[in-house]
Chain A
């Protein structure tokens, strides 16, 4: 299993450009999340999804849109990038049924490797 993967790993945008970050998981998890991580501020929830076709706003949703057309994929879009969106973006997923992996926790969120985005 690849777990949670993110594409791309790095990206540089100019102000006003748009882009889409892709998160994919092969663990059949229902819940998926997008976070941003900024120095000294921990991880903050942008948007989340509790299942295919559903999305909801998190703590810092402004300037972002998301879609969950397939259960395994969660896309994060920036329509008009701003320098304030320079950050590291992490995707995560969580199981809601079945047994957790050996030594794991049922409530555990599994994170992807992150995407480092710079907006000039």
Chain B
């Protein structure tokens, strides 16, 4: 089955700096890669996703890049703000398999003033 590794497990940045979280996946057939944000005590919520036919996707301060050859994808957050503090999860899935998601182990991002 699919295996997703995520690094780092914790990340501390100063407000205004950029943050980068990286994930690798094992199944070359995976074609959908979402990122979820989970605030303390809350449910995970999708912040951005990318399909394998696209190399990069951007939404305001958030961007995701995908390297299919190397089987890794990354989340980039620019101009970080205190409200970006949360746990971020990457995931991978294959269309046609009930969209089952395999999640990474999460990155706790702390944005300090």
Contacts and interface: CB of A to CB of B under 8 A. Distances in A.
Interface of A: 31, 33, 40-45, 48, 50, 56, 58-59, 90, 94, 104-105, 107-109, 111-114
Interface of A is mostly: loop
Interface string B88-113: 01000101001111111110000000
Interface of B is mostly: loop
Given A42-B104, A43-B89, A43-B103, A105 B34 contact: yes
Contacts of B89: 42-43
Contacts, number: 56
Contacts of A114: 43
B49 A111 contact: no
A108 B44 contact: no
Contact of B46 (A33, A40, A42, A108): A108
